[in-house]
Amino acid sequence: MDGYGRLDGISPPGRLAGPAEGITLEELALAARNHGLPLEALRYEVTPPGLHYVLVHYDIPAARAEDWRLTVDGRVRTPLALDLASLRSFPAVTHRVTMECAGNGRARLDPRPVSQPWLVEAVGTAEWTGVPLRLLLAEAGVGADAVEAVFGGADHGVERGVEQDYRRSLPLGVAAGRDPEVLVAYGMNGGPLPPQHGFPLRLVVPGWYGMASVKWLTGIRLTAAPFTGFQQAEGYRYRREADDPGEPVTRIAPRALMIPPGFPDFMSRTRVVRPGEVLLEGRAWSGHAPVTRVEVSTDGGGTWSEAVLTGPEGHGTPHPWAWRGWQARWTAAPGSHVLGVRATDATGAGQPVLQRWNRGGFGSNHVQRIAVLCTPESG
């Protein structure tokens, strides 16, 4: 179904780290090439390029905009092959979208799934410009028996023994929907897509974890049966055991993050603040519904107090799929403190203090913990 054969010798099966096993050099190689949002960059409502998280499964493809073609075929009335100029002739829209990697938080799980080792920083918000996917599907004419749209990217590699181009599908109702409105995007933050974000063309699925937003998009195929390729049927599933079929990873669970206050130690990243009033602030988001509440703890989760939500109110506003700001005030007293923050959305879903473990390390949204030392001026 992925169109290539198996390559097992160089491609280890999925595994969990041993009880005392440190991060491996293979995990580090992924952490060194991909990157998260340095948490102080939560200060930017739209994340500048280079600070937005990036996860590339294989290599960033060498792409030439002049030669790029997007095909739309399968269960359609009129197959399309569109160059970038053709795509730009469709009405363009810009959506501000918060995107998060489904594996965010994985490296703090116990036992730790061995994969891209995110701690908490795999998130970012961008202004994506492109064509609503529903317009392209209408142009091609959706066949009566179509049930899914399968999206193919140019990123080519091997994963768990399976050689593949990166491919993911969406149910037709999501692909052709207006809430969220899925984009075929050629612009980011007012410029072309950077190479690592999918130049020249990518999918953007607001509210869903990043694996749905296929980069370096070359083809859209409507199918009469659900897609069973690797990234749909094997990867990106919530499962407890290796042989459990699991449930698909879809929308983003609620999460709030705090800009670590004060200043850090280089190596431990422990924060130092001065005694007195400290402004705590950050961002909160959910892919299910608007964030309705953010609470802050300054005693390691023992007690919680309400933060003030700032900025646009969420779904129904100009930026329905982007994070919201929040602020709280804290009077810091000398000593050691553990800060935390948690979000609740309009469905009532919140964030657990303890991890919800699954074998792939997906959808983890347990509460961020920030160690802070409050101490008078040392100089």
The position carrying tokens 């995110």 is: 118
Of residues 22 and 352, the one with the C-beta less far from a second copy: 22
CA 28 vs CA 24, 25, 199, 258, 270: distances in Å: 6, 5, 25, 25, 21
Distance of closest approach, residue 104 Cβ to a second copy, in angstroms:
10
Q: Which residues contact 125 (CB under 8 A, 6 or more apart)?
A: 45, 46, 47, 52, 96, 97, 98, 99, 283, 322, 323
Residue type, 211: M
Of residues 11 and 327, the one with the C-beta less far from a second copy: 11
The position carrying tokens 């409105």 is: 181
Of residues 320 and 325, the one with the C-beta less far from a second copy: 325
Any idea what the Cα angle at residue 164 is, between residues 168 and 120, rounded to 5°?
A: 55
Of residues 77 and 269, the one with the C-beta less far from a second copy: 269
CA distance 94 to 199: 17
Distance of closest approach, residue 305 Cβ to a second copy, in angstroms:
25
Of residues 31 and 92, the one with the C-beta less far from a second copy: 31
What's the sign of the alpha-carbon dihedral 160, 58, 121, 294?
A: negative
Distance of closest approach, residue 223 Cβ to a second copy, in angstroms:
20
Contact 342, 222 (CB under 8 A): no
Of residues 72 and 326, the one with the C-beta less far from a second copy: 326
Distance of closest approach, residue 125 Cβ to a second copy, in angstroms:
15
Core vs surface per residue 257-290: b (16+ CB within 10 A) or e: bbbbbbeeeeeeeebebeeeebebbbbbbbbbbb
Distance of closest approach, residue 189 Cβ to a second copy, in angstroms:
11
The position carrying tokens 């749209």 is: 149
Contact 71, 218 (CB under 8 A): yes
CA distance 215 to 49: 16
Of 323, 281, 365, residue with least CA distance to 47: 323
Of residues 86 and 196, the one with the C-beta less far from a second copy: 196
Distance of closest approach, residue 24 Cβ to a second copy, in angstroms:
6
Distance of closest approach, residue 271 Cβ to a second copy, in angstroms:
8
Distance of closest approach, residue 112 Cβ to a second copy, in angstroms:
10
Of residues 119 and 289, the one with the C-beta less far from a second copy: 119
| End-to-end Cα, the chain, rounded Å | 65
Distance of closest approach, residue 95 Cβ to a second copy, in angstroms:
20
Tally the C-alpha atoms within 13 A of residue 287's C-alpha that lie toward its C-beta: 23
CA distance 103 to 117: 8
Tokens of 137: 């599907």
Of residues 234 and 295, the one with the C-beta less far from a second copy: 234
Q: 361: which DSSP letter?
A: -
